[in-house]
């Protein structure tokens, strides 16, 4: 089984082809090409939706050709075409969906409309033999959720952020410190030389019941600390980054501990762009071990947005016969747990 996946929900234009020789987890990445739009957006300090959509439109055809060449395949060798159909910046999502629909129609292949969050949620099974069900911490620039994952399309949300996502908090901290975009890797690098105990910061929701998150108060506190720093205080900036990263680790560990107590699981999976942060992975390994679970995370290169996660979600859904009609409409909002209240 070979599925081509297209990802255009934000500022990465990505195409991949994933193969699977047998039922169950673990597949083979036959091609995985990504065009990052950081150059286009860096001078604005964040992603501009209109610029992102135009960049997707300009790059998508060439990346499809590149992925096919890298895999040594033609369109007729594929079993299906998958694309992120939401949630995300709707202009970019529409570019990817229309490209996938066009290919599927032209070659009479099944079309698979993939929830971007499901792509992140299932990525770990592309590289590790992780069995359902498992507990998932999904942390990215736009999302922060704890869910039980029982299979494609089968999720129960245990908690979510009541305001901002943790990845957005990393990006805001980097912007306040003038570290550039994207902010998460820049904060992690600077934190490596800092004292994580020097700066006291609030830990919203910490030690409270439930599994919800909050990060707006932490963002405000970081802004106030930045304003109090001297412009030439390089060590102070490093200490602030380290203290911020530790504080986020405290909150994530606390929320995951509550989730593991509420819905015990032998496996805690962390996915999404923030899952690339190695310090946070270490903190989550500790909390998983205390609850008799193991932490599993995708390879760092598969934590950020990529086409392989969309192709793999397509493989998982195609096995179950979960294909979509060509009149499927892209969705700017698309919760994994449809029964959970919108926030």
How would DSSP label each residue in 183-212? HHHHHHHHHTTS-TTSS----TTTT-SSS-
Residues 19 and 65 in one domain: yes
d(CA 192, CA 303): 20
Q: Do 104 and 326 contact (CB within 8 A), yes or no?
A: yes
Is the same domain home to 119 and 139? Answer: no
Residues 184, 149: Cα–Cα separation, whole Å = 26
Q: How many domains does the chain have?
A: 2
pLDDT for 77 equals 98
Tokens of 197: 């105990």
Q: Does 109 share its domain with 160?
A: no
In angstroms, rounded to a whole number, what is the distance separating the alpha carbons of residues 248 and 171?
13
Same domain, yes or no: 76 and 16 = yes
pLDDT band at 81 (very low <50, low <70, confident <90, very high): very high
What is the average pLDDT across 223-232?
95
Q: Is the pLDDT of residue 205 over 70?
A: yes
What backbone phi and psi angles, to 5 degrees, belong to 197? -100, -5
Q: What pLDDT, in 10s, does the model give residues 85-103?
A: 999 999 999 999 999 999 9
Q: Residue 245 falls within a domain, yes or no?
A: yes
Pair 145, 119 in one domain: no
Residue 338 and residue 331 in contact, taking contact as beta carbons nearer than 8 Å: no
CA nearest to 119, candidates 343, 312, 315, 334: 312
| Domain co-membership, 310 together with 296 | no
Say what the pLDDT of residue 265 is: 97
CA distance 139 to 148: 14
Residue 272, both tokens: 């999404």
Same domain, 115 and 180: no
Q: What are the angstrom distances between the C-alpha of 262 and each of 147, 209, 267?
A: 11, 10, 14
Mean pLDDT of the chain: 95
Whether residue 326 is contained in a domain is answered as no
Question: For 248-259, what is the mean pLDDT?
Answer: 98
Instruction: Note the pLDDT tens digit of each residue in 257-271.
Output: 999 999 999 999 999
Structural domain includes residue 137: yes
Alpha carbons 31 and 223: distance in angstroms, whole number: 42
pLDDT in the model for residue 202 = 97
Question: Does pLDDT of 159 surpass 90?
Answer: yes
Could you tell me if residue 183 is inside a domain?
A: yes
46 found inside a domain = yes
8 and 143 housed in the same domain: no
Predicted confidence at residue 41, as pLDDT, reads 65
- The pLDDT of residue 286 is 98
- Whether the pLDDT of residue 343 is over 70: the answer is no
The length of the chain, given as a count of residues? 343
Characterize 314-330 residue by residue with b for buried, 16 or more Cβ atoms within 10 angstroms of its Cβ, and e for exposed: bbbbbeeeebbeeebeb
**Do 99 and 196 sit in the same domain of this protein?**
no
- CA pseudo-torsion sign 327, 331, 335, 336: positive
325: which 2 tokens?
Answer: 């009609």
The reported pLDDT for the residue numbered 44 is 75
Higher pLDDT: 317 or 39? It is 317
In the structure, what pLDDT confidence band is assigned to residue 325 with cuts at 50, 70 and 90? very high
Place of tokens 């970081």: 222
141-155: pLDDT as tens digits: 889 999 999 999 999
At 245 the pLDDT is 98
Does residue 232 register a pLDDT over 80? yes
pLDDT digits (tens, 9 = 90+) for 273-314: 999 999 999 999 999 999 999 999 999 999 999 999 999 999
Q: Is position 343 within any domain?
A: no
Query: How far is 18 from 7, CA to CA, in rounded Å?
Result: 13
Q: What CATH code is carried by the domain that includes residue 195?
A: 3.30.420.40
65 and 193 in one domain?
A: no
* Residue whose entry in the numeric block shows the structure tokens 């412009």: 231
Reported confidence tier of residue 184, pLDDT bands at 50, 70, 90: very high
* Surface-to-core class of residue 40, CB atoms within 10 Å of its CB (0-12 exposed, 13-18 middle, 19+ buried): middle
Does residue 187 lie within any of the structural domains? yes
DSSP per-residue codes, 8-68:
-SSSEEEEEEEE-SSSSS--EEEEEEEEE-HHHHHTTTS--HHHHHHHHHHHHHHHHHHHH
Q: Which range is least confidently modeled, 36-50, 51-65, 202-216?
A: 36-50
Confidence label for 342 from pLDDT (cuts 50, 70 and 90): low
Q: Are residues 105 and 49 in the same domain?
A: yes
Q: Clarify whether residues 150 and 292 are in a common domain.
A: yes
Per-residue pLDDT at 48:
82
Confidence of residue 336 (pLDDT cuts 50, 70, 90): very high
Sequence-separated (6 or more) residues with CB below 8 Å from residue 329? none
Three-state SS for 230-248 is CCCCHHHHHHHHHHHHHHH
In a domain, 330, yes or no: no
In 3D space, the residue among 138, 1, 134 whose CA is nearest the CA of residue 78 turns out to be 1
Contact 302, 73 (CB under 8 A): no
- How confident is residue 47, by pLDDT bands cut at 50, 70 and 90? confident
Calpha distance 314→81 (Å, rounded): 8
- Residue 314 is part of which domain span? 2-123+303-319
**pTM (predicted TM-score):** 0.94
* 204-231: average pLDDT: 96
Determine which of 1-10, 36-45, 199-208, 219-228 has the lowest per-residue pLDDT on average. Answer: 36-45
């Amino acid at each position: 089984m070979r599925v081509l996946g297209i990802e255009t929900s934000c500022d990465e234009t990505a195409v991949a082809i994933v193969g699977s020789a047998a039922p169950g987890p673990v597949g083979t990445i036959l091609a995985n090409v990504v065009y990052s739009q950081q150059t286009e957006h860096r001078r604005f300090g964040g992603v501009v939706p209109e610029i992102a959509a135009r960049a997707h439109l300009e790059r998508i055809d060439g990346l499809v050709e590149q992925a096919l060449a890298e895999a040594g395949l033609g369109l007729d060798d594929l079993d299906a075409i998958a694309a992120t159909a939401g949630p995300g910046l709707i202009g970019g999502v529409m570019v990817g969906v229309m490209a996938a629909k066009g290919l599927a129609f032209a070659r009479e292949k099944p079309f698979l409309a993939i929830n971007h969050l499901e792509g992140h949620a299932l990525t770990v099974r592309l590289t590790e033999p992780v069995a359902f069900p498992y507990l998932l911490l999904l942390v990215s620039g736009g999302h922060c959720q704890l869910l039980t994952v029982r299979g494609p399309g089968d999720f129960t949300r245990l908690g979510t952020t009541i305001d901002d996502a943790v990845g957005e908090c990393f990006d805001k901290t980097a912007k306040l410190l003038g570290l550039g975009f994207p902010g998460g890797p820049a904060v992690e690098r600077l934190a490596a030389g800092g004292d994580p105990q020097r700066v006291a910061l609030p830990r919203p929701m910490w030690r409270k019941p439930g599994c919800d998150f909050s990060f707006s108060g932490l963002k405000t506190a970081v802004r106030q600390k930045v304003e109090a720093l001297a412009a030439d205080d390089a060590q102070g900036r490093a200490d602030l980054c380290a203290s911020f990263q530790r504080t986020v680790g405290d909150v994530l560990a606390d929320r995951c501990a509550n989730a593991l107590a509420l819905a015990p699981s032998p496996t805690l999976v962390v996915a999404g762009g923030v899952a690339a942060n190695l310090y946070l992975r270490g903190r989550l390994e500790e909390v998983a071990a205390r609850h008799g679970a193991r932490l599993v995370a995708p390879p760092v290169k598969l934590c950020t947005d990529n086409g392989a996660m969309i192709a793999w979600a397509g493989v998982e859904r195609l096995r179950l016969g979960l294909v979509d009609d060509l009149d499927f409409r892209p969705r700017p909002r698309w919760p994994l747990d449809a029964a959970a209240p919108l926030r």
